[in-house]
Chain A
Amino acid sequence: MGKTIAEKIFESHLRDEPFEGTKVLDIDRVLCHEITTPVAIADLEWRGKDRVFDNTKIKAVIDHVTPSKDTKTAIQAKMLRDWARRHDLQDFFDVGRNGVCHALFPEKGYIRPGFTVIMGDSHTCTHGAFGAFAAGVGTTDLEVGILKGVCAFREPATIRVNLNGCLPEGVFAKDVILYVIGQLGVNGATDRVIEFAGPVVDGMTMEARMTLCNMAIEAGGTCGICMPDRVTVDYLWPFIQNDYVSKEAAVADFAKWHSDADAEYDQVLDFNISTLAPQVTFDYKPDCVKNVVDLAGTPVDQVYIGTCTNGRIEDLRIAAQILKGRRIADSVRGIVSPATPKIFSDALAEGIIQIFMDAGFCVTNPTCGACLGMSNGVLAEGEVCASTSNRNFNGRMGKGGMVHLMSPATAAATAITGVITDARSL
């Protein structure tokens, strides 16, 4: 019987099996941010074990509230900063160089096919786009990861999602993943890896694959994962060019991780994407998904473009294309947060920032900010936000606020009209 990519990664990283069905893995990347790491740091200090297992494999960033907005967030940032310096972490990103973790760390080339990755953040599943097993964990798992470089998981079962056909014009990775979550339900993939495959995935950029994998957790999935291929090699080439004689050699090497043709799956789901229309959420769960046209005309108070789901350069380009030469509605507050300094800088060079500003958007620094209602665009009670983020839970962007999740294209079109709008109708 063949193996899935997740099974291959588990097998290659198995440190221990203390009990049947419990796999303790060696971890290649332990990623840290300032919200979930400080309690782990404090606990390690309290235990007299303030150590790190490997200062080249642990990466840290201040991203959720940055620059700090008050004393409490300043203390969190300081705890992470002091700890990173104390242990001489090779890669720590502070104000000016920091960005949203799940955009920044891939951009730096830290995530490679076949890697195991943990972070105290549920959207760590994003990194599966590179053919890595990447899972969000709590602070205790993070603490053990920092100290010992290991993490325990149950044997992974995999749901294979075949995305067949091709992406229609004006339909994007975000629409695909919202649709898939709508089909799976918010716990349809609990304790499962979601393996994305098929011609639609093959044709996607790494940015689009990250959008896809980012929301695997919204269906309960442990990790979203894509097969590493030529697209992966092209993205990673600046970081791996000394390891391979040619890109072809890298593609061939990465293929060793691919799921075998006779691998065993928990479920295999086939979706025809050719007929998919832009998607949007309603209500307070990410599996409450409709076609945008079904919600068209719903007034919004704020439009938020950014986050680890859709704050990458490709997302900003898509939105800018729609916004170019237009103004957003007077009734709408538009906020855009490029997810990393490089994305911000590239967007400046390409004239995208100017387009956003001319349209009436507020451009903020890279941060998680408003997505989880912490800063830079928190909603008041009764307000509605059209957002490119990944969660529409009650209160998520501010107590009493309503969030509609959508693609950057739909968000841009909605900003222009002030009501939820299918960008293809503009």
Chain B
Amino acid sequence: MEKIFKGPAIFLDRNDINTDEIIPAKYLTEVTKEALKPYMLEDLKLEGFDPRGETLKNARVVVTRENFGCGSSREHAPWVFEVNGVHTIIGQSYARIFRQNMFNGGMLAIELPKEDIDALFAFSQQGEVTIDVDVEAQQIKACCGGQCQDFSFEISAFDKALVQSGGWVEFADARY
């Protein structure tokens, strides 16, 4: 599946959102990624957040806080985002396994410093924010109501190569 790193963003304003909240264990009995589609963020309890809501259905980017994706190693968490068209997460920090799973699947788990994350959350108070990521230039453009803000981000050479080659299986198969 081609990965798209732009579109409307949804803002999840909490630290430590875990993979059980992203995709509950009872759905781990599915053996295809597509079957996970209806259950994205089903167990996430957050003020003003509705896991069945239209905003979530339209979202293509998630913006969040610290330690996103902690807990279980289940790659079902990145997959449930992938099959819903969410290929970009922007957060202050991630759990290691979740972050690696995102890049291994050719998707983005971008880390921004706290002040940039705060600025994005503040921006979201003005209305719907759309985000466009330029992986090569390591730039994020966030726009809301005709106004835009730019952010630059760091990404390791390895993670960038994974995104550009389509993922770890492709990279490893070509090299080892």
Residues of A participating in the B interface, judged by any CB pair closer than 8 Å? 15-16, 18-22, 24, 35-36, 38-39, 42-43, 47, 49, 64-65, 70, 72-73, 75-76, 79, 120-122, 124, 136-141, 143-144, 147-148, 150, 152, 154, 186-187, 190-191, 220, 222, 285, 372-374, 391, 393-396, 399
Q: Are A187 and B43 in contact (CB under 8 A)?
A: no
Q: Are A140 and B25 in contact (CB under 8 A)?
A: no
Distance (whole angstroms) from the CB of A327 to the closest CB of chain B: 32
Task: Take A72-B30, A144-B168 as given contacts and tell me if A220 and B96 are in contact as well, using a CB distance cutoff of 8 Å.
Answer: yes
Question: Among A20, A120, A140, which residue has its beta carbon within 8 angstroms of that of B157?
Answer: A20
- Known contacts A138-B74, A147-B169; 14 further A-B pairs (Cβ under 8 A): A36-B73, A36-B75, A138-B101, A138-B104, A140-B169, A147-B173, A152-B168, A152-B172, A190-B93, A191-B96, A372-B20, A372-B25, A374-B26, A391-B71
Question: Among B25, B43, B73, B158, which residue has its beta carbon within 8 angstroms of that of A120?
Answer: B73
Q: Are B156 and A22 in contact (CB under 8 A)?
A: yes
Q: Are A144 and B172 in contact (CB under 8 A)?
A: yes
Query: How far is B79's CA from A120's CA once the two chains are assembled, in angstroms?
Result: 15
Q: Are A152 and B16 in contact (CB under 8 A)?
A: no
Q: Are B70 and A220 in contact (CB under 8 A)?
A: yes
Task: Determine the chain B residues whose CB is within 8 A of the CB of A222 once the complex forms.
Answer: 96
Q: List 19 A-B contacts (CB under 8 A).
A: A19-B158, A22-B156, A39-B33, A42-B31, A72-B30, A73-B29, A120-B73, A141-B104, A143-B169, A147-B169, A152-B158, A187-B66, A190-B93, A190-B96, A220-B70, A285-B16, A373-B24, A374-B28, A396-B25
B72 at the interface (CB under 8 A from A): yes
Of listed B20, B45, B167, residue having the most chain A CB within 10 A: B20
Query: How far is B156's CA from A290's CA once the two chains are assembled, in angstroms?
Result: 39
B67 at the interface (CB under 8 A from A): yes
* Top 9 A-B residue pairs of the complex, sorted by shortest distance between their CB atoms: A138-B75, A138-B101, A140-B104, A187-B67, A19-B157, A72-B29, A22-B158, A122-B73, A139-B75
Task: Determine the chain A residues whose CB is within 8 A of the CB of B169 once the complex forms.
Answer: 43, 47, 140, 143-144, 147
Q: Are B97 and A122 in contact (CB under 8 A)?
A: yes
Q: Are A373 and B93 in contact (CB under 8 A)?
A: no
Of listed A49, A150, A190, residue having the most chain B CB within 10 A: A190
Task: Take A190-B67, A373-B26 as given contacts and tell me if A395 and B20 are in contact as well, using a CB distance cutoff of 8 Å.
Answer: yes
Query: How far is B158's CA from A20's CA once the two chains are assembled, in angstroms?
Result: 8
Q: Are B176 and A220 in contact (CB under 8 A)?
A: no
The A-contacting residues of B in range 49-77, CB under 8 angstroms, are 66-67, 70-75
Question: Among B26, B72, B95, B173, which residue has its beta carbon within 8 angstroms of that of A190?
Answer: B95
Nearest residue (CB) in A for B160 is A19
Q: Are A141 and B31 in contact (CB under 8 A)?
A: no
Nearest residue (CB) in B for A79 is B31
Query: How far is B24's CA from A394's CA once the two chains are assembled, in angstroms?
Result: 10
Nearest residue (CB) in B for A191 is B96
Query: How far is B97's CA from A124's CA once the two chains are assembled, in angstroms?
Result: 12
Of listed B20, B30, B73, B158, residue having the most chain A CB within 10 A: B73
Task: Determine the chain A residues whose CB is within 8 A of the CB of B74 once the complex forms.
Answer: 35-36, 138
Query: How far is B166's CA from A43's CA once the two chains are assembled, in angstroms?
Result: 14
Query: How far is B156's CA from A152's CA once the two chains are assembled, in angstroms?
Result: 13
Query: How far is B176's CA from A15's CA once the two chains are assembled, in angstroms?
Result: 9
Of listed B26, B67, B95, B169, residue having the most chain A CB within 10 A: B169
Query: How far is B75's CA from A261's CA once the two chains are assembled, in angstroms?
Result: 38
Q: Are A24 and B176 in contact (CB under 8 A)?
A: yes
Task: Determine the chain A residues whose CB is within 8 A of the CB of B21 once the complex forms.
Answer: 393-395
Question: Among B31, B101, B172, which residue has its beta carbon within 8 angstroms of that of A38?
Answer: B31
Task: Determine the chain B residues whose CB is within 8 A of the CB of A374 once the complex forms.
Answer: 25-26, 28-29
Q: Are B173 and A19 in contact (CB under 8 A)?
A: no
Task: Determine the chain B residues whose CB is within 8 A of the CB of A36 once the complex forms.
Answer: 73-75
Query: How far is B176's CA from A141's CA once the two chains are assembled, in angstroms?
Result: 14
> Mask for B135-176, Cβ within 8 A of A = 1, else 0?
000000000000000000000111001000001110011011
